[in-house]
Structure 1
Amino acid sequence: MQSTPQLKSAFVTGATGLLGNNLVRELIRQGFQVRALVRSLAKGQQQFAGLAGVELVLGDMADVPAFAAALQGRDVVFHTAAFFRDNYKGGSHWKELKRINVDGTESLIEHAYAAGIRRFVQTSSIGVLNGAPGTPIDETCLRELGDADDYYRSKILADQTVLHFLALHPDMHASLVLPGWMWGPADIGPTSSGQFVNDVALGKLPGLVPGSFSVVDARDVAQAHIAAAMHGKRAERYLAAGRHMTMRELVPVLGKIANVKTPTRDLPIPLLYALAAAQEIYARISGRPILLSLATVRLMLKEAGRSHFDHAKSERELALEFRPLEQTVADTVAWYRSHNWF
């Protein structure tokens, strides 16, 4: 696949996140000059220590005008920042979800356009799609707003904001990339996958939870973003969801690579709800992230079997490929071990 000559510089939101930091690294590797939006300079310096070619920009998606000047002179914006759903703390967070994910996206694409940028890649989610359990889901299987939890609703509305902007500005080009459950190295947050890896490695997983997932390497999703910027079609969605797996399939792989014993029994659903409620109380008291919230349990039960995704379009138009799951898990575990997380 040939690079597009006019794309030499990029602005990346959510740069210290799992996807964002891997995207920044891949852009640098491909010769881009990168401005990386971070909410903490200290965290940005920690994440990108020793990486030449990245310029940190302090800012927050809640106040795009405050950092909008840094958009000047960029060829493309990769918008990976998002306020995540209720996994970590529990409770309702619709106000923040709308302010960051919906209103922030609208403000970002408006300011990018005003800065002369004409190429934009929106990080969407597989949550904007829906289908019958067990059936292959592609980019045309759009989820109705009424069927979405708050996080998925915010992503649907954010995507609609981007598409509406395109309808009003024919000279603007944007594509949307839809990742699955991302895993990978340098997940300093950590995200839910990083928290899961740590909990399994430290023996904190009490049993197997229900549901199925589409597991993908964040580095492959980063490649999909760059390919979408260079070769994606205007206003098109591209799946980068990865491999369908149940927890019963995933946990033993993780246990073998981390060299730890893993549970084999399923947790009863009433116990899941009780554990989630207890973890939410812990999160409110401690302020620490949790693996299981009530929203997570509800989502797992509702979405069970709805993680069979058809990547034919992304393979055809973006030449998307996925590395083996075992490599992703091994690299993730190795990164946490090398940084003394467990």
Structure 2
Amino acid sequence: MRVAIVGPTYPYKGGGAQHTTELAHRLSALGHDVVIESWRAQYPSFLYPGQQTISAPEGRPYPRTERRLDWRRPDGWVATGRRLRSADLVVLAVLSPVQVPAYLGILYGLGRRARAVALCHNVLPHERKPYDRPLMRALLRRVDGVLTHSGQQAELARALTSAPVGVAGLPPHLPSTHAERSTTVHRRLLFFGIVRPYKGLDLLLRALPEGVSLTVAGEFWGGLEETKALVAELGLADRVELRPGYVAAGDVPGLFARADALVLPYRSATASQNVWLGHEHGVPVIATRVGALADHVTDGVDGLLVEPGDAGALRAAIERFYASGEPERLRSGVKAVDPEPFWSAYTSALLAL
């Protein structure tokens, strides 16, 4: 089958780009003729406040990649669709409603000459704008199928389209790493990744027990000054290390080696790689029971689970984690994920739509 995947890949960074790249490798390994149609300019900077591209790849780049799409060139969107008319399947990787105008242009150029599937990382964003739902409805009503990453996301999609909607859990697509392992209890926790309100960093700061330190490493999509003010208000300046900005793949193992646990205090979630990333580095995970996080943490075995939105419950979980011998016991239960069964199920669900 001739498959075109439209989405970000290297030099773009982050989970979406890693997923697009790994999906191309996986489909190619199954014998399909796969090309990635990617971007030379994906978003205007005011819509994506973080760093967009990187100089060194976070995994194996996919060799058959075209980088002609540009958010400023609607004519290029249509031309891409016309160029893909010879494909059997066109997969549109949807990370944000901001991509929808370009994808509508591609579909217009495609002219229903090939089957089109919207692969939705999130059907609607966690933090929504008034235009998100109309844009996603316009896109999902024009494709032949939709793949989502959870039952909840599938229900959102079905409310927007009559096209077939499939569900497949987001498979592991971790960046290449040589994980450092630590056997020392540091009394230090790690909050890792892009910082946005729904991820609950403020709850973690309010929950941090005496004698426990925290490293916050990742890009702030707003709220950095408010976070600094909260750290000062809570008297945590000597125990909270803020490392705002993109964390290069080579720096990730050292961050995890200094941490006793990764904390994911999310208020809401769909799918996330961060539990698997923590386990890849031999680190237990303290997470809230939202989205797929609870599916990837075995409570009391390789981490702890807590209800979302409750700083008191989170503090109690952290205190429970630091009971005598508990960090070592939970660390011994951590095992790196085997990606193969996840990817087998995922590619089967995609190709079945």
- The structure whose residues are more often strand, as a share, is 2
**Both proteins in one fold, TM over 0.5:** no
- The structure whose residues are more often helix, as a share, is 1
Q: When the two structures are superposed, what TM-score results if normalisation uses the length of structure 2? A: 0.41
- Greater RCO between the two (CA within 8 Å, min separation 6)? 1
Q: When the two structures are superposed, what TM-score results if normalisation uses the length of structure 1? A: 0.42
